[in-house]
A and B are shown apart, each in its own frame.
Chain A
Amino acid sequence: MLALLVAQNIAFYIIAALMVVGAIRVVTTKNVMHAALWLVLVLSGAAAQYILLAAEFVAITQVLVYLGAIIVLFLFGIMLTRAKTGNDDDLDNKKSAKFIGAGIGVLLLGLMSFSLIDGFKDTEFGDLTVQRTAEVSDSIFSTYLLPFEVLSVLLLAALIGAIVIARRD
């Protein structure tokens, strides 16, 4: 019965198809700029999936951090390294490496699908309830306080590290 949430299911499959196509384009396109734009599609698709899963806060964070910050960082990276604006045939490794990569990817996918289907069969979500932001913040600042603090130190370290690595001496 629950599986018959038709609207959600249709939305899921459309978004999932877009995401998969986007992801494939990210790893195959010959234009770096296009790759970044396809990545935008995948990331916003993920945000949409989070909303389907009733995880609103993560969805918003996904949009803010990934689309707002990380993609911009990528664009900066692309521009600062003066990538070709048009198509570039020199973005991929040799054929053999691509072949190996594809082989490993397919094998991994096969394994994972097998174990997922075997393990979770047709487990359904129950009645999805909205996971409110207040709950998330309660959890972060009580149960996960220490990891949260550690994470802030990590971000600080990454900040300093990035400056030290990238600055011109």
Chain B
Amino acid sequence: MFLNQFLLLAAILFCIGVYGVLARKNGVLVLMSIELILNAVNINLVAFGAYWHVNDMANVSGQVFALFVIAVAAAEVGVGLALVLLIYRNRQSIDIDDVDMLKG
């Protein structure tokens, strides 16, 4: 297997995630797209980790970092959904383009 297989898969997922973040209006869907991006990163990390593990058996940094990213993602979804709920409660809608009180 080539390293690039995984890296390119990750790149594709990442870009789909970016598209989702930019094109979706629904707050929950935006959060899902962010999950796609984070997963793409994780695939990268694990792929590189596996690659390095072959040379240095004691090195599992890739996995460790992926685990950290998963934990951060959990925190992010928790807070993100709390925000979405708050927005929903205040405006009966979770369209994030309605939330533009920082308009210049």
CA of A3 to CA of B2, assembled, Å: 7
With contacts A108-B18, A129-B54, A155-B71 taken as known, whether A70 is within 8 angstroms of B35 at the C-beta atoms is yes
With contacts A19-B13, A109-B15 taken as known, whether A100 is within 8 angstroms of B62 at the C-beta atoms is no
CB-based contact B14/A3 at 8 Å: no
With contacts A58-B66, A136-B64, A154-B75 taken as known, whether A77 is within 8 angstroms of B81 at the C-beta atoms is yes
Residues from chain B with a CB closer than 8 A to the CB of A91 are: 24-26, 29
Digitize A142-169: 1 where CB-to-B-CB distance is under 8 Å, 0 elsewhere.
Answer: 0110011001001101110111011010
CA of A101 to CA of B97, assembled, Å: 15
CB-based contact A108/B97 at 8 Å: no
Checking A49, A74, A90, A108 against B6 with a beta-carbon cut-off of 8 angstroms, the contacting residue is A49
Residues from chain A with a CB closer than 8 A to the CB of B78 are: 73, 158-159, 162
Count the B residues whose beta carbon is within 8 Å of the partner chain — how many? 76
Interface size class of A (residues with CB under 8 A): 35 or more
Residues from chain B with a CB closer than 8 A to the CB of A61 are: 67, 70
Residues from chain A with a CB closer than 8 A to the CB of B1 are: 2-3, 5, 8-9, 12, 52, 124-125, 128
Q: Is A14 an interface residue (CB 8 A)?
A: no
CA of A144 to CA of B14, assembled, Å: 27
CA of A77 to CA of B74, assembled, Å: 14
B97 to A: closest C-beta gap in Å: 6
CA of A102 to CA of B77, assembled, Å: 24
Residues from chain A with a CB closer than 8 A to the CB of B99 are: none
Residues from chain B with a CB closer than 8 A to the CB of A155 are: 71, 74-75
A5 to B: closest C-beta gap in Å: 6
CA of A50 to CA of B86, assembled, Å: 36
Residues from chain B with a CB closer than 8 A to the CB of A109 are: 11-12, 14-15
Digitize A1-42: 1 where CB-to-B-CB distance is under 8 Å, 0 elsewhere.
Answer: 011010011001000100110011011000010011001001
CB-based contact B84/A81 at 8 Å: yes
Digitize B68-100: 1 where CB-to-A-CB distance is under 8 Å, 0 elsewhere.
Answer: 101111111111011111101100001101000
Q: A74-B81, A154-B71 are in contact. List 5 more A-B contacts (CB 8 A).
A: A53-B49, A55-B46, A77-B31, A124-B3, A154-B72
24 sampled A-B residue pairs with Cβ under 8 A: A5-B1, A20-B9, A20-B16, A26-B16, A42-B39, A49-B6, A55-B63, A55-B66, A69-B74, A73-B78, A74-B28, A77-B28, A77-B81, A90-B95, A91-B29, A108-B18, A109-B12, A113-B11, A121-B4, A123-B4, A140-B67, A154-B71, A157-B75, A166-B86
